[in-house]
Amino acid sequence: MSDKEKKKADIISVAKAAKVSPSTVSRYFNHPELLKTSTRRRIDSAVRKQGYIRNRAAQTIHGIRSGTIGVLVPTIDHAIFAEVVQAFSDAVAEHGFTILLASHGYSAKQEYAVLRKFLEHRVDGVVLTGLDHDEAVFQLIESQSIPAVLIWNHMEDARLPCIGADNRLAGRLIAEHVLALGHTDIACMFPPVGGNDRAQDRRSGVIEALSAAGIEVRDDWQLETVYSISASKRNTAQLLSKPERPSAIICGNDILATGALYGARSCGLDVPTDVSIVGIGDFKGSSEIEPALSTVRLPAVRIGQEAGEALAKAITQKDGSISNLHCRPELVVRASSRAVKL
């Protein structure tokens, strides 16, 4: 008999191979936590040997969960999103879920289109990044009565349950650190804020703290820089090569701050002796660069873990609901900032 003529494995053949009932195999896929470890291992072995692939589409038609969660992020090119998504994926995997990951490139139109695709594939839950989304996105989620959570930002009166950090507070914390060091000649470098409520909130927090201290940032010291080390290095070098230069640069994230460090060095300046440079995020590697970066830690791993646990329980429990959770940002002082020279 040719390979094409071979009968495809089904749930009955898997059950026979594992010496369990078909209903137990079904439970293995839909509620693995209800089975003994030894039983799961036998079924897993049979599934692999038989090459069995279950028909998700047919199952969802009959009201059975798909076992998937749709995760929408602005981009997969940022280290911080990789951290939060990995932590989320690990958390939901403990409950038998797999994630479908997509990015929308900060496009509201694309976000709506991808969300529709997720729902067409009958995902069991949805994750959106940030709090600011088109009304059509909120209406689509609400019309489907699907469990959903907003991650990364936190605000008590958010439209949907949110688990994240207060980015405005993060901005205030880093600005207050720079002010406490005696700096008054301060530049700011942030990514474009359009469609990015995280960057907008951080920038607002920084400006509010500086204004409260009576400091207004010069227009030519307010830099908008794309999320790129090379662009940040170039813009910082241009800024610091002018006759008048700031004594401190506040960056909207650690990627921009890393580029600013390189830009200062390219001008022959020492960080922090000649200029202090700080960021927001505490990405992987922020403590390893030279000098180690002063920043505000946004607890990406905790946000991902908490969101994963909350959403998985909301899906699997009849009365499951998600409560807002603020994962507080934390100032981390390292070697890239120091008191202003008098």
Query: Over the stretch 56-79, which tens digit does the pLDDT of each residue have?
Result: 555 554 456 888 999 999 988 877
Residues carrying CATH 1.10.260.40, the chain: 3-54
Residue 5: predicted pLDDT? 41
Beta strands 148-153 and 98-103 are: unpaired
Residues carrying CATH 3.40.50.2300, the chain: 68-166+300-327, 167-298
Homologous superfamily of 68-166+300-327 in CATH? Response regulator (3.40.50.2300)
Of 3.40.630.10, 1.20.120.550, 3.40.50.2300, 3.40.50.300, which CATH number belongs to 167-298? 3.40.50.2300
Q: In whole angstroms, what is the distance from residue 342 CA to residue 337 CA?
A: 15
User: 129 vs 145, 164, 204, 300, CA distance in Å?
Assistant: 19, 10, 19, 12
User: 154 vs 31, 92, 158, 235, CA distance in Å?
Assistant: 32, 21, 8, 31
Residue 1: predicted pLDDT? 38
Tens-digit pLDDT string for the chain (342 aa): 344 445 678 889 999 999 999 999 888 887 888 899 999 999 989 988 887 877 655 555 445 688 899 999 998 887 778 999 999 999 999 998 999 999 999 899 999 999 999 998 889 999 999 999 999 999 999 998 899 999 999 988 999 999 999 999 999 999 999 999 999 999 999 999 887 888 999 999 999 999 999 999 999 999 999 989 999 999 999 999 999 999 999 999 999 999 999 999 999 999 999 999 999 999 888 999 999 999 999 999 999 999 999 999 999 987 778 999 999 999 999 999 999 987
Q: For residue 328, which amino acid is it?
A: R
122-145: pLDDT as tens digits: 899 999 999 999 999 999 999 988
Residue 339: predicted pLDDT? 97
Residue 80: predicted pLDDT? 79
What DSSP letter does each residue of 163-231 carry, written as one string? EEE-HHHHHHHHHHHHHHTT--SEEEEE---TT-HHHHHHHHHHHHHHHHTT----GGGEEE--S-HHH
Strands, E assignment, 58-133: 68-73, 98-103, 125-129
CATH topology of domain 3-54: 434 Repressor (Amino-terminal Domain) (1.10.260)
Beta strands 68-73 and 98-103 are: parallel
Residue 2: predicted pLDDT? 43
First to last CA, the chain: 88
DSSP state of 242: S
* pTM for this entry: 0.80
